[in-house]
Chain A
């Protein structure tokens, strides 16, 4: 595949044009990935309401019927169910890794196995999350393994 990068004229908006015979899964994932960087969702912290860029979210966690979005340093409540997030962002870097967590795979620094049969993922902000054994295969697929 040929990749051409052109500089737009002054005053013109940045634009991505895909020229292809057919839109396959790989291309769809790429498009979704670009879109997700710009996608936002609403986060609630105390009395504040904030637009969160999807690309800034490290992981979502369900705790006591509430779902929280964790950015590098902040935690926001989001008014969505964890399964909705898992389904809605299935074609992005987000992946369900346990009953309670959907992680942004692009924020993982490394993965290591634990003696209890599960895996632990260290994130770029230093936090660690547990990957349940039954979700390891999905992670491998996400990483094209």
Chain B
């Protein structure tokens, strides 16, 4: 049940971030209309990348090097999946330029989604610290 809850949270953050990046790209490249199927494609890519995230991010790495490797591996997997999906959906051409564009887009989604998650965590930590102070502060 907890895992499903985590999945839903990540799905919301990641899909919203993808939507924002797609909106930015459409804005920059001057497209006037967002094709209807693109919305479904965003939902599908959000579903797949969330699955990867929930599987990979919660693997406990003991050392700092292990943690760095975990995140590099996670990012590499996301890029691979999104390049395949991007090519399939017709979002990018499978050439160097298209792949670089997708790698940058994944980086932007990564920063947005993890940034949002970090802000939520900051709030949770603040609440816990407040309770710690109330409960044990006088000791």
Contacts and interface: CB of A to CB of B under 8 A. Distances in A.
**A and B part of one assembly:** yes
Contacts of B6: 133
Interface stretch (B30-38, B84-92, B124-132): B124-132
Contact of A113 (B60, B125, B135): B125
Contact of A134 (B2, B117, B121): B2
A115 B125 contact: no
Interface in A80-106: 98-99, 105-106
A132 interface: yes
Contacts of B29: none
A143 B135 contact: yes
Interface string A109-123: 111110111010000
Contact of A143 (B57, B114, B128, B139): B128
Contacts of B132: 105, 108-111, 143
Interface magnitude class on chain A? 20 to 34
A144 interface: yes
Given A98-B60, A99-B60, A111 B2 contact: no
B121 A119 contact: yes
Given A106-B136, A134-B2, A143-B135, A111 B58 contact: no
A114 B87 CA distance: 34
A136 interface: yes
B26 interface: no
A79 B67 CA distance: 31
Main secondary structure of the interface of B (DSSP, over half): helix
Contacts of A134: 2, 58
Contacts of B129: 110-111
Contacts of B125: 110-113, 119
Contacts of B124: 113, 136, 140
Contacts of B117: 117
Contact of B128 (A99, A106, A132, A145): A145
A139 interface: yes
B138 to A, nearest CB: 11
Contacts of B58: 117, 133-134
28 contacts: A106-B135, A106-B136, A106-B139, A108-B136, A111-B128, A113-B118, A113-B121, A113-B124, A115-B114, A116-B57, A116-B61, A116-B67, A116-B70, A117-B57, A117-B58, A117-B117, A117-B121, A119-B121, A119-B125, A133-B6, A133-B58, A134-B2, A134-B58, A137-B2, A140-B127, A143-B131, A145-B128, A145-B131
Interface of B: 2, 6, 57-58, 60-61, 67, 70-71, 114, 117-118, 121-122, 124-125, 127-129, 131-132, 135-136, 139
